[in-house]
Amino acid sequence: MDFGTELKIARERRGLTLQQIAASTKISVGVLGALERNDFSRLPGGIFTRAFIRAYAAEVGLDPEQTLQHFLAETVDEEPPPSARRADTYAMNEPGERERFANMLLWLILLAVSAAVIYLLLHFWRQPSDTHAETAAPAASIAPPTARTTGTREGPAVDTPVLAPRPAAARPDTLVLDIAPTGECWVVAIADGEKKVAQLMHQGDHETVRAQDEIFLDIGDAATFGFMLAGRPGRSLGSSGERVKVTITRENLTSYLRS
């Protein structure tokens, strides 16, 4: 049984229409129909196609990972490489898909610009602190403590400098965020200006993000976003279907912990 037929049979067994699945998964009817017809040229490719397949399989009662493996087995010799696929194939199929593609592209551009701005702000914010640390360290050793040596028959007493070992610089605390969603949730995590996570996550998925100064989060569904911060459970960040953006630092860390 080919991939598309397996999906169609599972859907009909549950008595669902493509329109019903599209309403619950937010995937267009055109893409769902293309999956059932094995028309893979209409799919966006990459992580988006994988996310669509997992969501469809879950709706019709199939195992998402096994269904994805079935798809990959059928397309390994058929699907063209991403560099050869026209970028607008998916967007131009239907008017609704064109708008979805444009919104997704705009969102990715804004995310890249935001990451660049955050990186520059962190870079210039750190410079004065680092300069002060470099100039303050030698000053501490200008006047070391002295120990007085008792005079002897050969000469008078003298003051001998005692060079105390310089303490090692303390390493700043590290922010550790463990992401474990309770349901389907789009997650973007940027640690110190570097993107660490940008994917559709599901229940059972897990990602760990570490940062020295801050972690920026863009969450597609606040109600399904489960997380632990510094080994402690995090609080709810919002209601079902709500998109939230937060920035976690060492200063405000406790405000995101469950009371």
Distance CA 235, CA 229 (A): 10
Tell whether 139 is covered by a domain: no
Domain boundary among 76, 94, 123: 76
Better-predicted residue by pLDDT, 171 or 256: 256
Tell whether 169 is covered by a domain: no
Tell whether 143 is covered by a domain: no
Look at residue 239 and tell me whether its pLDDT is greater than 80: yes
Domain boundary among 76, 106, 123: 76
Distance CA 229, CA 220 (A): 19
Predicted local confidence at residue 79, as pLDDT: 45
CB-based burial label for 188 (10 Å; 0-12, 13-18, 19+) = buried
Percent of the chain with pLDDT over 90: 33
CB-based burial label for 215 (10 Å; 0-12, 13-18, 19+) = buried
Better-predicted residue by pLDDT, 249 or 78: 249
Tell whether 113 is covered by a domain: no
Predicted local confidence at residue 116, as pLDDT: 87
Tell whether 151 is covered by a domain: no
DSSP 8-state class, residue 203? T
Give Cβ neighbours of residue 93 (< 8 Å, ≥ 6 apart).
30, 42
Packing angle, helices 64-75 and 46-59, rounded to 10: 130
Tell whether 48 is covered by a domain: yes
Q: What is the largest CA-CA distance in the chain?
A: 108
Better-predicted residue by pLDDT, 187 or 155: 187
Supply the pTM of this predicted model.
0.36
Residue-number span of the structural domain to which 26 is assigned? 3-76
Q: What is the CATH number of the domain that holds 40?
A: 1.10.260.40
Predicted local confidence at residue 247, as pLDDT: 95
Domain boundary among 30, 47, 76: 76
pLDDT single digits (tens) 117-157? 888 888 777 655 444 444 444 444 444 555 454 554 555 55
Tell whether 87 is covered by a domain: no
Q: How many domains does the chain have?
A: 2
pLDDT single digits (tens) 42-72? 888 788 889 999 998 898 889 989 988 988 8
Better-predicted residue by pLDDT, 247 or 156: 247
Tell whether 106 is covered by a domain: no
